[in-house]
Amino acid sequence: MNSISPNIVWHQSTITRRQREEQNNHGSCVLWFTGLSGSGKSTLAHAVEEELHRHGCRTFVLDGDNVRHGLCGDLAFSEADRRENIRRVGETARLFVEAGVIVLTAFISPFRDDRERVRKLVGDADFIEVYCHCPLQVCEERDVKGLYRKARQGLIRDFTGISSPYEEPVQLAYSIDTARTSVADSAGQVMDLLVGHGKVRRA
């Protein structure tokens, strides 16, 4: 925990993360959904959250668009701003983990180094990366927000998959084929992941 601000000291809480997890009756972690725009990240994150809620788990979804309405509202989409966006989200997610919450993040997060930086910040045991693998063609066919069409017309600069790269995970990530797998089945796979990591108990 480094800061450029002088004369500040970290104040340790008297209630520990473990105590919060025990009260919640489940472990805390970051479920990091990454993939192209239109790959199903937000849809899957919210489907998993609904399932966790039914299990009585404390959760929160950090969605890429929503975060840019507030916490990251001052950032654009240059490479530097994208990296700062992910840095802020990583720090926020870490706070949720300390609070004993399962935080689900839905961000394109196109650069491997940025995702790995968050992994190191949170810790391997608490960072579960889920790659929503979906071919660009399928994402463009979906084009839920009409962004690909605008990017192809040159109306959006630095658009991931068109004029800016997406670096696929090469290790440690769990991949789900969201082009062929239903939302319900994908959510079931993520729930199995959480059970396997010892974060929740099987119902």
* pLDDT single digits (tens) 87-129: 999 999 999 999 999 999 999 999 999 999 999 999 999 999 9
**Could you identify the residue written with the tokens 């809620």?**
53
In 101-174, where does DSSP find H-type helix? 112-122, 136-142, 147-152
Tell me the pLDDT band of 9, cut-offs 50, 70 and 90. low
Query: Are the CB atoms for 44 and 51 separated by under 8 Å?
Result: no
Percent of all residues in the chain with a pLDDT value above 90, rounded to a whole number: 79
**pLDDT for res 78:** 85
> How many degrees, rounded to 5, is the angle at CA 45 between CA 42 and CA 51?
140
Chain centre distance of CA 44: 11
> Rounded mean pLDDT of the chain?
92
Domains of the chain (ranges plus CATH)? 17-196 (3.40.50.300)
**pLDDT for res 1:** 47
User: N- to C-terminal Cα distance for the chain?
Assistant: 37
Tell me the pLDDT band of 6, cut-offs 50, 70 and 90. confident
**Could you identify the residue written with the tokens 């658009």?**
159
Q: Which amino acid is at 170?
A: V
**How does pLDDT run across 118-143, given as a tens digit for each residue?**
999 999 999 999 999 999 999 999 99
28 is catalytic: no
> How many degrees, rounded to 5, is the angle at CA 62 between CA 114 and CA 81?
40
Query: Are the CB atoms for 141 and 37 separated by under 8 Å?
Result: no
- Closest Cα to residue 138, out of 130, 129, 148? 148
Active-site residue, selected from the candidate residues 109, 175, 182, 186 = 109
**pLDDT for res 38:** 96
